[in-house]
């Protein structure tokens, strides 16, 4: 016991100050893309051609779908004029799918808090059941990190539970493979109403790299109603936590 206490004193306080203190993102972090129409060369299309998921369109002006974006920076490297640049902004989530489509001059994505009725029902607690619907374990790993001492998700009243019958909603990762479609539907049906669904990662939002695969369903949106979208491949834990807190309106 004394060794444990001594070790805690040595390690000191490890929990981050977010959201009261802004996070310091790594230098290599790839956050919200910035689109500069003034720098875009009409007819170039090099960014759209380089995108592995078809997230970029140059028809009628440049646009970028965060729900499909892998943040691989292929577009940034292909664009010689700097019309597309990755920023360090971790605030990339939205409550409407259409809001994830970026255009020059369009407001950046934002999260609208759940209704007052839901907040009154859930109170200061939010219990979630995570469903890995064919994910590669990257998004799943970043969700797991939120429960560590560094982020300490439980201090906000948010916890992952073992049974959907004990949950207020579900968090989906992965492109929803054919083998997981029924499992997702049954998990969603087992959650008591009213309930929420959160899609985390490009795969869960749009299918990501596997959107056109015959064994995938192109994300969760076509199977269950999604209330919150957290893009990324995978999204940074700060992006997930920021979205959850805004949606819960902590």
Percent of the chain with pLDDT over 70: 100
Sign of the torsion angle spanned by Cα atoms 114, 17, 229, 87: positive
Sign of the torsion angle spanned by Cα atoms 16, 145, 241, 104: positive
Tens-place pLDDT, residues 113-172: 999 999 888 888 999 999 999 999 999 999 999 999 999 999 999 999 999 999 999 999
Sign of the torsion angle spanned by Cα atoms 198, 203, 208, 213: negative
Specify the pLDDT at position 36.
87
Specify the pLDDT at position 1.
79
Mean pLDDT in residue range 26-38: 91
Specify the pLDDT at position 61.
83
Indicate left, alpha or beta for 209 from its phi (over 0: left) and psi (-120 to 50: alpha). Answer: alpha
Cα(240)–Cα(144) distance, integer angstroms: 11
3-class DSSP assignment, residue 164? helix
Give the pLDDT band of residue 249 (cuts 50, 70, 90): confident
Specify the pLDDT at position 250.
57
Specify the pLDDT at position 84.
93
Tens-place pLDDT, residues 79-113: 999 999 999 999 999 999 999 999 988 899 999 99
Cα(9)–Cα(165) distance, integer angstroms: 40
Cα(154)–Cα(72) distance, integer angstroms: 32
User: Are the C-beta atoms of 246 and 105 separated by less than 8 Å?
Assistant: no
User: Are the C-beta atoms of 104 and 37 separated by less than 8 Å?
Assistant: yes
Domains for the chain: give ranges and CATH numbers: 116-248 (3.40.50.12280)
Give all strands (DSSP E) within 139-240, no chain letters: 158-160, 169-173, 196-200, 228-230
Cα(142)–Cα(242) distance, integer angstroms: 13
Q: What is the pTM of this model?
A: 0.93
The DSSP secondary-structure symbol of 134 reads: S
Residues 6+ apart with CB under 8 A from 13: none
The DSSP secondary-structure symbol of 21 reads: S
């Amino acid at each position: 016991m004394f060794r444990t206490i001594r070790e805690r004193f040595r390690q000191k306080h490890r929990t981050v100050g977010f959201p009261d203190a802004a996070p310091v993102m790594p230098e290599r972090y790839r956050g919200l893309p910035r689109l500069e129409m003034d720098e875009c060369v009409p007819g170039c299309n090099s960014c759209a051609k380089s995108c592995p998921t078809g997230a970029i369109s140059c028809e009628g002006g440049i646009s970028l779908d965060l729900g499909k974006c892998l943040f691989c920076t292929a577009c940034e490297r292909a664009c010689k004029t700097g019309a597309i640049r990755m920023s360090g902004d971790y605030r990339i989530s939205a409550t409407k799918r259409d809001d994830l489509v970026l255009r020059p001059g369009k407001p950046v994505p934002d999260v609208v808090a759940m209704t007052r009725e839901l907040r009154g029902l859930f109170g200061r607690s939010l219990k979630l059941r995570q469903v890995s619907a064919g994910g590669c374990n990257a998004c799943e790993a970043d969700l797991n990190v939120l429960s560590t001492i560094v982020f300490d998700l439980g201090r906000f009243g948010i916890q992952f539970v073992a049974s959907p019958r004990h949950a207020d909603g579900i968090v989906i990762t992965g492109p929803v493979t054919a083998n997981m479609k029924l499992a997702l539907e049954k998990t969603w049906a087992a959650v008591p109403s009213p309930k929420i669904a959160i899609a985390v990662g490009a795969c869960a939002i749009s299918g990501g790299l596997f959107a056109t695969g015959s064994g995938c369903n192109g994300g969760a949106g076509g199977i269950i109603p999604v209330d919150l979208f957290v893009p990324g491949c995978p999204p940074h834990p700060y992006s997930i936590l920021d979205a959850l807190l805004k949606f819960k309106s902590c």
